Structure 1
Amino acid sequence: MDWRRLDLNLLKVLGCMLEERSVARTAERLFITPSAVSHALARLRRAFGDPLFVRSGALMVPTPRAAALERSLAVFTASLDLQLDPSRASDAAFDPARSTRNIRIVAPGALDLSLVPRIVAAMREAAPGMTLAVEPFERRSYENDLASGRVDFVLSVGGHTLASDNVGSAVVREDELVVLVGPKSALYDGPDAIETAAYLSQPQVYPLPWPVMQNYLDVVLARSGKRRNFSLLLSSYAGLGEVLTGTDLIASLPDHTAAVLVRSHPTLRLLRMTPVRRSDLTLLWSQAGQQEPALRWMKSVIATAASAE
């Protein structure tokens, strides 16, 4: 479909429907009749070849196609607002407490236990109307995702996601890779630091934020012909504490995440690795998106939460 042939008035209806999920409330906001909204939706459905909304009780729920359009439409309307009313670009004009902005970030799974809860706590306190969607990090470039507004921020471990002139970046903290062991591990009663040979001799559990051989530690080990002994692969970090507590398996993870697990599972023991392995946690954002006060505010929230850990 060539968007130039689309009546742009229909995008106002679509954008409002995505926010309101109601034909009646959309009509009220746009000062038109519900019949006019229904007619516009029929035209949009023909144009996109998709139902766009399906009724669920009193709400009109967007289809996956409509949900995918929501991010691009939000970026377009925010940019247009700023062009028509430059005062909207002022931080003084932005009130987090009144914002209903949906923020989407990409983050490694380990941050679900440590940094993400801090970010959410700050948002709930200062901007309860804002929402946050977190999607898992993949070892690839996110330049197009940031430029299109599909995602607002990316948290990258180890600096593997390169920034271009269109993408801003800042190191928000440094993580140390540590080892967690439970009472049944052969390492539990040993020294506080573990050397590589002893580390590699133990059966390990690996949460899967990305494929094993894209993990920076395994890439480094492979260069010297070494590999870890994985006995369990998990889909996330959610069950890691229970697994380590009840088995002889060990796990390596960032120290901030390890500290959270030790607090919730006090019998776990944290060991440092020798040699010490550290990596940067980098925040990435779209330079163009920083025209929007809500995104400037959110960048500050993320950076502050990371530095406070």
Structure 2
Amino acid sequence: MDWRRLDLNLLKTLAVMLEERSVAQAAERLFVSPSAVSHALARLRRAFSDPLFVRTPQGMIPTTRARSLERPLSILMSSLEDARGDPHESFDPAKTQRTFRIAAPGALDLTLIPALTRVLRTRAPDWSLAVETFERRSYEADITSGRIDFVLSVGGHTPTGERIASSVLWEDELVVLAGRGSAIYSTHEALSIEDYLTQRQIYPMPWPVTQNFLDIKLARTSRHRTFALSVPSYAALGEVLETTDLIASMPDRTARAILRSHPTLRIVRVTPPQRSNLSLLWAAMGQPEPAQQWMRNAITEAASSVPRGAPEPNSPDAP
């Protein structure tokens, strides 16, 4: 499609239709007649060679093509709203409405995501946050197309290109969480990798073992962990660890978060320490819109407020 020949006023109709999914309601919001909206939709369908919306008893349902345009249109409309404002007036998130989509590992559901949500509810109450499960793959197309605004990547192994910028939010240390039934519960020393590998474990990760940075590292020396239970999230860990002899490995901040609701569990450090970075990825193309820049700063601020779970190596509490 040649964008130079498209009446850009039609995009406003499409954006409102994606929100309302009703010709009558879209017409009311646009201050035009329903027939004008129907005429605009007919032109849009010809331009995109797609029905865009299908009439059903539940309303006008967008097609896959229409849904793919939803996020780019949202960014475009928000940017135009920002451009209309006073260039000398600082951006105020409390006066805007935005939806941001982030890909994040499940471990962050207990740490960074709650901290970020608190920031948003306080300073940007009309903003929404949609979190989807992080996968070990390239997110360049997702980020540059606007489908994803930010990616929170563990271990620095997410492929990136020239159009992706990144910054490190924090360093995680892999620790073990154990309950009273575990053989390592009473230990006051850091657990060696050899002893660590003798323990039967829970695997609470959303990606396969073959994609986990620790298991990849162990496999290079023909060593492997033994899993008695694999689960897709961290939700059941506390209860299982309290009532069995199993242990679970996780980032130290996540372990500290679980301890808040399961205080009888213990954090045990591993030696030599296994560490990895949590990085923030975003589109590096052009000048960022104010909302995007503000959100990036909010994520960084939220990350700085999440406390470490393992004691510092030289502190009195360190093993």
TM-score by length of 2: 0.86
Aligned residue for 2:194?
A: 197
Q: Give the whole-Å Cα distance in 2 for the aligned partners of 1:242 and 1:53.
A: 47
Q: After alignment, is 287-296 or 250-259 more displaced?
A: 287-296
1:34 Cα deviation after fit:
2.1
Cα displacement string for residues 15-59 of structure 1 (whole angstroms, at most 9, x for unaligned residues) = 012234443442233221123223434555674235356554xx7
Q: Give the whole-Å Cα distance in 1 for the aligned partners of 2:219 and 2:89.
A: 52
1:290 Cα deviation after fit:
5.1
Paired residue type of 1:156:
S
Are positions 1:212 and 2:240 aligned together? no
Aligned residue for 2:218?
A: 221
Q: Give the whole-Å Cα distance in 2 for the aligned partners of 1:97 and 1:186.
A: 52
Aligned residue for 1:112?
A: 109
Q: Which has the higher helix share?
A: 1
Say which of 37, 47, 50 aligns to 1:48: 50
Cα displacement string for residues 177-226 of structure 1 (whole angstroms, at most 9, x for unaligned residues) = 10001122121122342111111111111123211111110011011110
Paired residue type of 1:186:
A
Correspondences of 1:32-71 after superposition (within 5 Å): 32-41=32-41, 44=44, 47-51=49-53, 54=56, 56=58, 62=62, 65-71=65-71
Aligned residue for 2:157?
A: 160
Q: Give the whole-Å Cα distance in 1 for the aligned partners of 2:286 and 2:120.
A: 19
Q: Give the whole-Å Cα distance in 2 for the aligned partners of 1:270 and 1:214.
A: 25
How many residues align? The count is 303
Q: Give the whole-Å Cα distance in 1 for the aligned partners of 2:175 and 2:151.
A: 23
Say which of 250, 266, 290 aligns to 1:293: 290
Q: Give the whole-Å Cα distance in 1 for the aligned partners of 2:272 and 2:54.
A: 54
Stretches of structure 2 lacking an aligned partner (at least 5 in a row): 307-319
Poorly superposed stretches of 4+, deviation over 6 Å: none
Aligned to 2:195, the other structure's residue is in SS state helix
Report if the CA contact (8 A) 2:170-2:303 is conserved. yes
Q: For the structure 1 residues 101 and 167, does the alpha-carbon distance in structure 2 shift closer, same or farther, using more than 3 Å as the test?
A: same
Report if the CA contact (8 A) 2:22-2:60 is conserved. yes
1:78 Cα deviation after fit:
4.4
Q: For the structure 1 residues 199 and 19, does the alpha-carbon distance in structure 2 shift closer, same or farther, using more than 3 Å as the test?
A: same
Report if the CA contact (8 A) 2:54-2:60 is conserved. no
Correspondences of 1:173-184 after superposition (within 5 Å): 173-184=170-181
Q: Give the whole-Å Cα distance in 1 for the aligned partners of 2:287 and 2:294.
A: 9
Q: Give the whole-Å Cα distance in 1 for the aligned partners of 2:54 and 2:224.
A: 48
Q: After alignment, is 91-100 or 47-56 more displaced?
A: 47-56
Aligned residue for 1:279?
A: 276
Stretches of structure 1 lacking an aligned partner (at least 5 in a row): none
Report if the CA contact (8 A) 2:209-2:215 is conserved. yes
Q: Give the whole-Å Cα distance in 1 for the aligned partners of 2:204 and 2:45.
A: 41
Report if the CA contact (8 A) 2:52-2:62 is conserved. no
Q: After alignment, is 26-35 or 109-118 more displaced?
A: 26-35
Report if the CA contact (8 A) 2:51-2:63 is conserved. no
TM-score by length of 1: 0.88
Q: Give the whole-Å Cα distance in 2 for the aligned partners of 1:292 and 1:52.
A: 33
Are positions 1:254 and 2:254 aligned together? no
Are positions 1:144 and 2:144 aligned together? no
Report if the CA contact (8 A) 1:172-1:307 is conserved. yes
Aligned to 2:267, the other structure's residue is in SS state strand
Paired residue type of 1:250:
I
